[in-house]
């Protein structure tokens, strides 16, 4: 497996997003099967595993902790804080909470669930408008000094927030949505990350499954699947956005690959400090995704994709309105 750098941290070129094993995409997966999947990913070279306290809440951290306990020193575990969650009951207020004392309490709780003595990357999940980012970065600096956290990360933060945080304590990685389905980071975020030497971890690198070519206007999602509330996944938007899948599929067919592999290889080709974290609950999909690391897209391939993208205006917002209000401050 090829490796890449997130700041000073070396990880596999593709990580594994573990959220879907416990929440958001329908019913949780079978625990024993998910543990086998996580360990199977490591056997195939994956070293970066991504979770968060809010996934469940708590259930996903517990799953990841149990799965990785036997190989803890061989992997990098990333988790997140920042939502207002009762640490005893898991009840959510729906808002954010990045008060320094809460961050430290979350760190301790996450360490227990993850069965470890340190968190390799601790992301602020969403920027808290009520807490200066300098205070957040200061709390992370203290956690790093205490040995409980190794690296500081930010998720869905705006460029000014990133700059201010980085002054207080170096930011190793920023996580945001990025794919052929959503290219918003290209305008401002990616240039700033390159300037500051910060790694980028795209979540939903397959457009929440859309870029696999397995979803169309007639696809029915489980009632608990978050995509039911996403404008970009309305039947009308899906029908219009199939033109994007057609571009990826054309390249895939020519190269003897799958649309998912082309979509991931495209991301890997953008910059050497980009580490996508596709999620899955199926071993054959994991193996398919990992095949993207060895798929070389030529300049001609990339130009073909770019020319096709220039003719398409993707329809629908990428998140519900309430969620968009929590992004990019």
Which residues are tagged catalytic? 55
| Angle (deg, nearest 10), helices 159-168 and 189-196 | 20
Edge to edge, what strands does the sheet with 171-177 contain?
Answer: 16-17, 48-50, 76-81, 119-124, 149-155, 171-177, 199-203
Q: How, if at all, do strands 199-203 and 171-177 pair?
A: parallel
User: Using CA atoms, how far apart are residues 278 and 292, in angstroms rounded to an integer?
Assistant: 11
DSSP bridge partners of 78: 50, 121
User: Using CA atoms, how far apart are residues 117 and 72, in angstroms rounded to an integer?
Assistant: 10
Spatial CA neighbour of 286 closest among 43, 25, 31: 43
User: Using CA atoms, how far apart are residues 67 and 308, in angstroms rounded to an integer?
Assistant: 41
- Chain centre to alpha carbon of residue 8: 19
């Amino acid at each position: 497996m090829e490796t890449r750098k997130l700041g000073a941290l070396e990880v596999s070129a593709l990580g594994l997003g573990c959220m879907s094993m416990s929440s958001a995409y329908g019913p949780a997966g079978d625990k024993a099967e998910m543990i086998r999947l996580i360990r199977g990913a490591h056997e195939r070279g994956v070293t970066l595993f991504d979770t968060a306290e809010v996934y469940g809440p708590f259930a996903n951290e517990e799953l990841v902790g149990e799965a990785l306990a036997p190989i803890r020193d061989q992997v990098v575990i990333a988790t997140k804080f920042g939502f207002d969650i009762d640490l005893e009951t898991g009840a959510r207020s729906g808002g954010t909470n990045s008060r320094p004392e809460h961050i430290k309490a979350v760190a301790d709780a996450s360490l227990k669930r993850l069965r470890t003595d340190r968190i390799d990357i601790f992301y602020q999940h969403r920027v808290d408008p009520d807490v200066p980012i300098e205070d957040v970065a200061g709390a992370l600096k203290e956690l790093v000094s205490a040995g409980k956290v190794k690296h500081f990360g930010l998720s869905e933060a705006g460029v000014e927030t990133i700059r201010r945080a980085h002054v207080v304590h170096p930011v190793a990685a920023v996580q945001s949505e990025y794919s052929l389905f959503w290219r918003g980071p290209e305008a401002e975020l990616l240039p700033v990350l390159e300037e500051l030497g910060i790694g980028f971890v795209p979540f939903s690198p397959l457009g929440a499954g859309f870029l696999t070519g397995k979803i169309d206007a007639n696809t029915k999602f489980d009632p608990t699947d978050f995509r039911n509330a996403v404008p970009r996944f309305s039947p009308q938007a899906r029908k219009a956005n199939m033109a994007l899948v057609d571009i990826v599929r054309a390249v895939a067919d020519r190269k003897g690959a799958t649309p998912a592999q082309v979509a991931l290889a495209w991301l890997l080709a953008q910059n050497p400090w980009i580490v996508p974290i596709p999620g899955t609950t199926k071993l054959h999909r994991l193996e398919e995704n990992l095949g993207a690391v060895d798929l070389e897209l030529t300049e001609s391939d990339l130009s073909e994709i770019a020319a096709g993208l220039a003719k398409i205006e993707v329809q629908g917002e990428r998140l519900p309105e309430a969620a968009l209000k929590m992004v990019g401050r």
